[in-house]
Amino acid sequence: MIGPLDNLVRSLARLPGLGRRSAERAALALVRRPEHLLDELSAALAAARERVRCCDVCGGFTTTDVNPCPLCTGSGRDPEILCVVEEPGDILAIERSGGFRGRYHALLGKLSPARMTGPAELRIQALLDRVQTGGVREVVLALSTDLDGDTTAGYLAERLRARGVRVTRLAFGLPADSGVGYSDPLTLKRALGGRQEVA
């Protein structure tokens, strides 16, 4: 394969959900008709790089000219309920479900001794500060159900309960070893509706 095309395939293959074969098919489709797909994709990537960023309050995606984001400033949202997620993409998944009307907080990861990710590497202190000053009465932990997600949930529950906040976790609907971003809207809506106290 020629150099520039091989570089494109390797870059695409680094995206989640794309293996080498899928990346190769995507690359060939892009270069076959560059005026239709490649030029549009290049412009969209440049605009995303220039304008998309994480919200200073919740850590979700927003643009450089709208910060804090509409989810943090919208009047139709309950500021007393805060949903904690691992990644900004999880916020998008929960919003698609239509089952949550509170505010969000993205940790930008989860505690993982194997990856050397501790509390200082995540937005945990920002969460505790929001709870302390923002009148939050309930924190919903919408974290993965794997070992690192459970560890993170336990750590946060302990820290949040010490501040007098009700701590709940998504109930049924999320399969074991899965994450919020991989769930369908109906599953997320049911999980939010059936959340329970963290033991």
- Helix, strand, coil shares of the chain as percentages rounded to 5? 50, 15, 35
pLDDT tens digits, one per residue of 165-177: 999 988 655 666 7
Among 21-30, 56-65, 67-76, 188-197, the range scoring the smallest mean pLDDT is 188-197
pLDDT tens digits, one per residue of 109-164: 999 988 999 999 999 999 999 999 978 999 999 998 788 998 999 999 999 999 99
pLDDT at 117: 93
pLDDT tens digits, one per residue of 69-78: 999 998 999 9
Which one is predicted more confidently, 186 or 54?
A: 54
The fold of 61-197 is: Dna Topoisomerase Vi A Subunit; Chain: A, domain 2 (3.40.1360)
Number of Cβ within a 10 Å radius of residue 155: 16
Cα–Cα distance, 149 to 6 (Å, whole number): 36
Three-state DSSP string of 128-143? HHHHHHCCCCEEEEEC
Among 49-53, 55-59, 82-86, 141-145, the range scoring the smallest mean pLDDT is 141-145
pLDDT at 84: 98
Domain ranges of the chain: 3-52, 61-197
Multiple choice CATH, 3-52, 3.40.50.10140, 3.30.2130.10, 3.90.470.20, 1.10.8.420: 1.10.8.420
Beta-bridge partner residues of 63? 52, 66
**Judging by beta carbons within 10 Å of its beta carbon (0-12, 13-18, 19+), is residue 9 exposed, middle or buried?**
buried
Alpha carbons within 13 angstroms on the beta-carbon side of residue 16 total: 3
- Overall pTM surpassing 0.85 (yes/no): no
Does position 101 have pLDDT exceeding 90, yes or no?
Answer: yes
Does position 36 have pLDDT exceeding 70, yes or no?
Answer: yes
